[in-house]
Amino acid sequence: MTPAASPLTGAQYEIAAGGYLAVVTELGAGLRELRHRDRPLITAYQADELPPAGAGQLLLPWPNRIDGGRYRMAGADYQLDLSEPTAGNAIHGLTRWSAWELGRHDADAVVLRLALLGRTGYPFCLDLEVAYQLGGEAGLTVSVTARNTGTRPAPYGTGSHPYLTAGAPAVDGCELTLPVSRWLPADQRGIPNGPLSDVTGTQRDFRAARPVGTVTLDDAFTGLERDEAGLAWARLTSNGAGAALWAGPGYQWLQVFTGDTLGQAQRRRAVAIEPMTCPPNAFVTGTDLITLEPGDTVTHRWGIQAAGAAS
């Protein structure tokens, strides 16, 4: 199967099954499109366009931000490039602008791999693999695997950046459900600046589905409620239909962003619900940070499926 290619995002790997269609890009192993019965479940973008505001990107070996790009590991200090220069942060890892190698491409699944070799600020070596699988009513399952192929322990976290859409022109009238009990205050640079707070009685409490309204969100949430299978479910719906995202074990956090700071074309058109294994600045604080010993392998899974009347 020979995929189409784009000058900007590389090969385009289309997969389909059970009424679902997804497109994954060579650039960053990102999720460019996901539809169910021709209804979009995430904000899509064109093959010859860079992912707007991180849409669909895979975040490795850390999600979110590192304050000043500086952290300490095993008694050594490291300085990462400031990939968010306006705020002075290192953001969203090291792999989202890399060309990932194809491992396998079937009608309903695609596997991409990347050898993340050592570099200034991150002198560790990881073999990375992501598998996108479509299957009937289950929709899309994303499996992210990292193996430490180096000689020293490596700090590690992962996240993903889909913008869920319910097909409405704005999110204000959409109903949002978030399975979370606590949120992490942050400063204007997105760096945590206070203790965890209870969502009860605040505008951030979406444990029961309710309209987004005028609420502005760009927050990291934890205290995830899970079902019998260990999955935490978030939903965005309009007129009873929309998208549901699940986060499997190991994803302890959801970053939720209503897009208020984006340009007019994207502002409040969708809600980013980002499963993360650790919160912002985890390389500094150590909160829920994974340390991969040489030879260790870890896999995390999340997914999206259609929700409501049109599912």
The domain that holds 221 is classified in CATH as 2.70.98.10
pLDDT computed for residue 136 by the predictor: 79
pLDDT computed for residue 283 by the predictor: 98
Q: Tell whether the torsion through CA atoms of 33, 101, 250 and 189 is positive or negative.
A: negative
Q: Which of 236, 235, 231, 222 is nearest to 301 (CA)?
A: 231
pLDDT computed for residue 138 by the predictor: 87
DSSP-derived 3-state class of residue 269: coil
How far apart (Å, rounded) are the C-alpha atoms in residues 230 and 123? 34
Residue environment code for 194-217, b if the CB has 16+ CB neighbours within 10 A, otherwise e: eebeebeeeebebeeeeebeebeb
How far apart (Å, rounded) are the C-alpha atoms in residues 109 and 33? 14
Residue 45 half-sphere exposure toward CB, CA atoms < 13 A: 23
pLDDT computed for residue 6 by the predictor: 84
Q: Which of 180, 141, 181, 155 is nearest to 300 (CA)?
A: 141
Structural domains of the chain, count: 1
Length of the chain: 311
pLDDT computed for residue 310 by the predictor: 46
DSSP-derived 3-state class of residue 75: coil
Q: Which of 206, 304, 165 is nearest to 246 (CA)?
A: 304
pLDDT computed for residue 3 by the predictor: 62
Instruction: Show the domain range for 290.
Output: 4-308
**Which parts of the chain sit beneath pLDDT 70?**
1-3, 309-311
pLDDT computed for residue 311 by the predictor: 52
Q: Answer for the pair 88, 70: CB distance below 8 angstroms, yes or no.
A: no
pLDDT tens for each residue of 144-153:
999 999 999 9
pTM of the predicted structure, to 2 decimals: 0.96
How far apart (Å, rounded) are the C-alpha atoms in residues 162 and 274? 6
